[in-house]
Chain A
Amino acid sequence: MSSDALRLRPPRHRVDRRAIMWWTARALMTTVVITAAPAVPAVFVEPIRFWLLSATVVVAVTGLSVTVVMPQWRYRVHRWEVTDTAVYTSSGWLWQEWRVAPMSRIQTVDTARGPLQRVFGLSSVTVTTASAAGPIEISGLDHMRATEVVDQLTETTEATPGDAT
């Protein structure tokens, strides 16, 4: 088998476009919080104000660049696909991850909607297997779409034999 001739194709579906907004909002909130950490003392503490302000600038610039770059990047990477035999996802931006789990090994499927996700009408689908390596998560799906995915997964896993361990 000539080895370098193989590679994974990206999963078929992108996540919802609104996920970009969601990621942006999330990154912005984090940026505000961690910028406040050195910025607030800078107002009150006279002697080391210069250092605190420099720290503030560094943190703010880093945070804002992440806020600008990360959501677009993630949107290119985050993809998912559910077939009759397996769940296949890709996620991440700098560090990227592809996950495959066969239907016969899926234990539970659930959806979650955080407050911020709800603002944008999004949901996450979490697919748990018996592995200690953690569940597979498809985040940033349209709410209706997420429900469909869960229904499809539940139906398929019920039809697939196996003790899920």
Chain B
Amino acid sequence: MSPHGEKPADGWQGLSRLTVWADAVVGALIIAPAAIGLTIALALAPLAWGWSVLPVPAALALFAGMTYLDLLRLRAVGYRVTDERMEMRSGLIAKAYRSIPRERVRSVDVAAPLYVRVFGLCTVTVGTGESAGAGGSDQLQLQFVTAGQGEQLRRDLLQRGPVPKTTGENEENGTGEGPEEEEEELARLNPRWFAYAPATGATLGIGVGALATLASISAQMGGRGRQWLSEWLVLPSGAEIGAFIMGRLLLLVPLTLFALLLLGAVVTLAAAVETWWDYRLIRQSDGTVRLRRGLLTSVSLSVEGRRLNGVALREPFVLRSVGGAEIRAVATGLSAGDDEKTAAKSRLSPAMPGKRARALAATLLRTPDSPFGPVPRVHPRAALRRRFARAGMATLAATAVAGALTWVHVQLRGPWADAWSSVEAEAMGVPLTSGAAEATPVWGWFAVAALFGAVAFWYAVGSYRGLGHGVHTRHLVVRRGMAVRTTVAMERSAVIGWRISRSPFQRRLALADVSATTAAGEGRYTAADVGLGQGVAWAEEAVPGLLAPFVERVEPESGAPERSVLP
């Protein structure tokens, strides 16, 4: 069955010839400046001048080699779409041939980074949901084909067969007949939504990261860079700066924070614009949901309606506190390498107003009663007690750490003071910490620990409030999380099993984690810390009959302990 004949006939298509040009231009843009820079550096360096002649020919050879390999790759890679299958051959030395049934195709992802787009090309990634051997990717990738080919592939692969035929699935969208242009727009970018972009914890993190990078560069240069800079800018000496900072701490700390926030806001905003520019989410007549977005790298992702098993509404803490939310897909065939990439790929919307996000999620699920309203079922008080216990442990640990730090602090003021300030002068040039050790009271650490404890208990309450589970007409709902509150609504028909797990603590409190396992998304969605009976009832209600043979009724409040516990 393997059509290894290299004939371009019988429907085989190759990558676009422009691929080689695109790669060559990018290669040249990277290699040429490097070669020129190296030439200059070598010419300036106290070496024999002959060295400086080398980089340019070496770069040319490298460039020629890369282009040659690219040409070989262009000839080796081919694909074709037949009525039943998509086939792809590839490989320069080890020939590879993969063939997947078209009905296994779960997503088609068309991406066009800027440098490819100017050539009218794009990358097509086909998600299959089945991996080729251990550790193999479950995707076929074509790098690059023309935009026309990409569009054609997307259309062909997600349409069920050119001839209307029943696919054996009892789904209503099996015909693939309807005209392509009948599509429903679910969402379109509203530029105001970009206001939500800086509302993440990363905003401050980016600023702090930039500052830390500066400090570490300064430390690596052994203070010389700073010396040079301060001579150049006529900056005062380290000690003076230290005194200056200490003198105006109340003014400088908020000012620095503000500057960091501003820097972070600019970066996150730019990232959001790059990612979500031209955002459009549509549903085609055959149920396929199609996402388009991107400024420099334009991305188009199509997920077959049948494979979109649910929607996750994500509300990270900062975004939630300004009333925003974002949406991710719970679908099969979207996995890509690692979890992070998978998560990035399953994003269906930018941060947007919570109300709009909930409405969009409900539209995506095609259900009249939105599962994203208030979650009906509250978890038992014992779940709150568990979280309080954890907060208590964290507070104890923080107190212990505070004790240790206080000891160090006392040492820094006394015996270690001289040694430390010289180390610090070496690394940062500014005696910030030793100054701070002098200026702040020793009991400060315990104040911080107390604050930490207060936050821990507040977090415990918040994460208990975040818990919830429910059942709707076609979906089941689970909600959890404080740092990132995630509400997942998943089709009840997509549940392929249950997993109930209990730790010793949960058994003592009559709690359990009840998880629905599924082929979509993360593979397992959990109602955390539900009452055991409550969880079983929920599972039985969501998928009637599956658990029923294994469920028994006991008298409520009988207090009978589990049979299968301690010997």
Contacts and interface: CB of A to CB of B under 8 A. Distances in A.
Contact of B533 (A7, A85, A90, A136): A7
Given A5-B533, A96-B564, A133 B499 contact: yes
A1 B533 CA distance: 10
Contacts of A100: 497-499, 546-547, 550
Contact of B523 (A8, A98, A132): A132
A8 B504 contact: no
B536 A85 contact: no
A124 to B, nearest CB: 18
Interface stretch (A27-35, A45-53, A69-77, A114-122): A69-77
Contact of A8 (B335, B500, B519, B541): B500
Interface string B110-142: 000000000000000000010000000000000
A6 B553 contact: yes
A98 B503 CA distance: 12
Contacts of B169: 163
A6 B550 contact: no
Given A3-B533, A99-B498, A131 B523 contact: yes
Nearest to A91: B501
A65 interface: no
B474 interface: no
A105 B552 CA distance: 24
Contacts of B566: 73
B508 to A, nearest CB: 12
B171 to A, nearest CB: 11
Interface string B339-375: 0000000000000000000000000000000000000
Contact of A3 (B496, B515, B531, B567): B531
B532 interface: yes
Nearest to B500: A98
Nearest to B498: A100
B555 A5 contact: yes
Contacts of B547: 8, 100
Interface string A3-22: 11111111100000000000
B540 interface: yes
Contact of B564 (A76, A102, A136): A76
Given A86-B546, A131-B517, A4 B556 contact: yes
A72 B533 CA distance: 27
A95 B531 contact: no
B497 to A, nearest CB: 4
Interface in A81-97: 81, 83, 85-86, 88, 90, 92, 94-97
Nearest to A97: B501
A101 B496 contact: yes
A7 B129 CA distance: 35
Interface string B495-514: 01111111110010010000
Nearest to A104: B496
A98 B497 CA distance: 11
Contact of B536 (A8, A76, A92): A8
B550 A96 contact: no
B239 interface: no
Contacts of B507: 96
Nearest to A69: B567
Contacts of A132: 335, 519, 522-524
B550 A9 contact: yes
Contacts of A95: 501-504
B532 to A, nearest CB: 6
Contacts of B149: none
A130 B106 CA distance: 14
A99 B497 contact: yes
B551 interface: yes
A97 B496 contact: no
Contacts of B503: 94-95
Contacts of A76: 564-565, 567
A10 B564 contact: yes
Contacts of A129: 496-497, 517, 519
A102 B546 contact: yes
B346 to A, nearest CB: 13
Contact of B499 (A72, A97, A102): A97
Nearest to A136: B497
22 contacts: A4-B510, A4-B557, A5-B555, A7-B533, A8-B532, A10-B564, A76-B564, A76-B567, A85-B545, A92-B501, A94-B503, A95-B501, A95-B503, A96-B507, A96-B564, A97-B502, A99-B499, A105-B497, A131-B519, A132-B519, A132-B524, A136-B497
Interface of B: 129, 169, 332, 335, 496-504, 507, 510, 515, 517-519, 522-524, 531-534, 536-537, 540-541, 545-547, 549-557, 563-567
Given A1-B537, A69-B567, A98-B499, 9 more contacts: A3-B531, A3-B537, A4-B533, A8-B547, A8-B550, A10-B563, A100-B498, A101-B497, A136-B497
